[in-house]
Amino acid sequence: MSDKIRVLVVDDSALMRKLIPQTLLSDPSIEVVGTAMDGLIGLRKIEELRPHVVTLDLEMPRMDGIEMLRQITRKHRVPVIVVSAHTEEGASLTLKALALGAFDFVTKPQDAASGRLQQIAAELALKIKVAASSGPPKMIITVPPAKRKEPRNFPAQPRWPSRIVAIGISTGGPNALQYLFSQLPEDFPGCLLVVQHMPEGFTEMFARRLDESSALEVKEAQSGDLLLAGRALICPGNRHMKVCHMEHGDVSILVDQPRVNGHRPSVDVLFHSVAATFRNKAVAVLMTGMGEDGAAGMGAIQAAGGVTLAQSPDTCIVDSMPRSAISRGFVSRVVSLSALAGTLQAKCIPDRPQAEPAAVPSGVAAGDTGSRRRSS
């Protein structure tokens, strides 16, 4: 009996149904057991072939990928990797698929139609293997719907944050972040900085979705954005995000330095910058995701006196990112996803100014302000 990972490829393009299996041939642990040209055929082949993982195109005739995904999550509980077009429409559909329960996604290169899929071969193979080993989701996250927000009345004076909360997140991140942000109030006293492993062209739309479903102000970060209380900045795809002090306030800075841990954006880049700039005013959070990006940076925030939190592995879609920091002793507290918002609010309560020392009454020596025994 073969112990290979059985994969079904569903795509309406005959070329993609040929190229995707070819890109996976070099990995001996993966076997493409079948292909399908639309969702109706794909569902029949899931029953027939019992794949461990499905790769899914979203734009197909008869039954599209979104409807097929709904059927899979209801009936089959097979992990799905979306193979997405690198377009605005593709990004929108992909984020919808992730909200419906897709495990993860890869983007087709711009020249995929000419037969060049090798640049995503390693990424696709890795995500297939992680999806197969993870199995069905450990926790079903109810993603809040978008809601119409009232126009914000920004205060005349900037509302400076009590803490800087740096979040690193990857596989499973869109739903987990949307849930977390929906639990935080508009007057949240911290500023949130997020590195979500996501390609260029997806993060702006992702930030808009987060903004629509939460009371926070959420935007894709730009260089020079002020770090304000109640604001969340999402690092753009293919950029790194750092922070720095400026005369007019603390700001985000975007840089084009090389990849770190194979990623740009990298969680470690953000965490190291936050540790150096804010020291004990920093809060680091590692959430669901695969790999080890962020573990070393979390150690730097811990060494600087900051707070270090990890999402509990049992509430992660993939737990290797938080677990890598936990195993190194860099995490001060492990928190379930449902309790994370409350924990962040507690950690970001502004420090109370120390009370002025009480005035010493005339004729009483300092240090002698306690009660005196009366003479009888």
Give the model's pLDDT for residue 360: 44
Does 9 have pLDDT greater than 70? yes
Give the model's pLDDT for residue 118: 77
Positions marked active-site: 170, 197, 293
Does 357 have pLDDT greater than 60? no
125 and 273, same structural domain? no
Give the model's pLDDT for residue 237: 95
Give the tens place of pLDDT for each residue, 57-94.
998 888 999 999 999 988 888 999 999 887 788 889 99
Q: Reduce the DSSP state of residue 77 to 3 states and report it.
A: coil
Give the tens place of pLDDT for each residue, 163-207.
999 999 999 999 999 999 999 999 999 999 999 999 988 999 999
CA–CA distance, 228 with 250 (Å, rounded to integer) = 8
207 and 340, same structural domain? yes
Residue 372's pLDDT band (boundaries 50, 70, 90)? very low
> What's the whole-number average pLDDT of the chain?
88
265 and 175, same structural domain? yes
110 Rama sector, left if φ>0, alpha if ψ -120 to 50, beta otherwise: alpha
Give the model's pLDDT for residue 368: 41
CATH of the domain at 279: 3.40.50.180
- Which tokens hold the place of 302? 């811990």
Q: Which residue has the higher pLDDT, 137 or 160?
A: 160
Domains identified in the chain, total number: 2
Give the tens place of pLDDT for each residue, 92-104.
999 999 999 999 9
- Which tokens hold the place of 178? 């949307």
320 and 172, same structural domain? yes
**Residue 80 belongs to domain spanning:** 5-134
**Burial profile 162-195: b = 16 or more Cβ within 10 angstroms, e = fewer:** bbbbbbbbbbbbbbbbbbbbbbbeeebbbbbbbb
217 and 96, same structural domain? no
